[in-house]
Structure 1
Amino acid sequence: MVLFGTIINGITIILGTIIGKFLSKIPDQMKTTVMHGIGLAVVVLGLQMAFKSEQFLYVIISLVLGAVIGEWIDLDGKLNACGNWLEKKLGAFGSGQISQGFVTATLIFVIGAMAILGALDSGMKNNHDILLTKAIIDGFTALILTTTLGIGVMFSAIPVVIYQGTIALLAAQIVALVPSVLLDQLIAEITASGGVMILAIGLNLTGITKIRVANLLPGIMVIIVLVIVMYNLNGIL
């Protein structure tokens, strides 16, 4: 089953969130310290991912153009409006910052080499080892995030399943159409640009900054287009 690893990944995120919800009744001071600890860990994760880039200028361009697009369409505002709607629908069970939990968890779970390589392995070889490993990591991370960010973390399972599932289903076509060199470049630069966004999330969690990370998300599409264009130009020249 091609989608087995992806489905298990989504389930572990949901289970981790449910368990974390029952552990969320901890003192506010402890929550703050835990939040800062998570933030510092996320900062380190973002830095590790950002250093994967081989052309950091591409990352800078993608972040700038992505920010312009994100601010223009007010992606952060739309996401917050969605979060507020979910907050009302969920009532008392949905207490917490839905949009912050959703965005934070989605970026951490979706962006990175494991999501892409794991989905490709699932689609091409029916080998789910990478995604199953990722599922365990994501489930534990969801548990920890939920104790401070609330039930919004659960909804990150939706983009995770859609994103990884799409790659898995299209794996054969992707590998056939995209040269291995270009695919390696895409994975590296997507991971790097995503790492900068995760770094921003970590700084937000520590309270140092209030960066509208959601408005940087279009940068992912920009980096994909930029890497493909530059690869083809280099091939022509």
Structure 2
Amino acid sequence: QTRALQTILGRPIYGVLLLSLALTAKNFRLLQATELPYLFISIGVSDKASFISSNDFQIGYQATSFLIAKGHTKIGIAGMTDDSYIGQQRVAGFKQALRESKLSIQDDWIQFGDFTYEAGIKAMREYGPNPELTAVIGTSDLVSIGLLNAASDFNLAVPQRLSILSIDGTQLTKIVRPQLSSITQDFYQMGYQGLQTLIQQANHKDKAHYLPFKIIERGSTSQLP
């Protein structure tokens, strides 16, 4: 069975790259049963799987710390799924940064979704036209654009009234106004290193490999007076 899987259309394959794809437990067991090298790219999944990604706990932690350093004490996070490894880790990092600064966390400041534009719209509507928050972390660029547009519908000035910090840092952050400040991940290196790992027949039981990310400030965040 494994030998048959290793040849597709007469060409040898070295393994399976799973790009931003979380498998069910059943499908993950099927993948392991093939004995092919595999690697998850741009997504942390669990301690049992091999992946190349950013450290999502640190993303949540550093994003929150960045806003705290700018004087924000009432910070929300929006758009992530509540049952995914990524969402759980980002929220955990967010909460840790607030706890270390002895800042309060209100349940309604955490708005779950599915990483989509619509999730950002929905979250901003939940925050309302006069939110207590002064800053929100959007857990994808699409979520952040949803937050930005819904804030505009409420006539909430960004960043004067509400700062928005996005996670991902794709080209989407540059085609909106104001441009979105972002936690920027190195997706190119994730793909490059992932393919190199499979070509070299690396042991697919290797664990997490985290790549660095950086914070790029654009027009959607500001220092509080």
TM over 0.5: no
Specify the structure having the higher radius of gyration (Cα): 2
Q: 1 or 2, which has the higher strand percentage?
A: 2
Q: 1 or 2, which has the higher helix percentage?
A: 1
Higher relative contact order (CA closer than 8 Å, sequence separation 6+): 1
Q: TM-score, normalised by structure 2?
A: 0.29
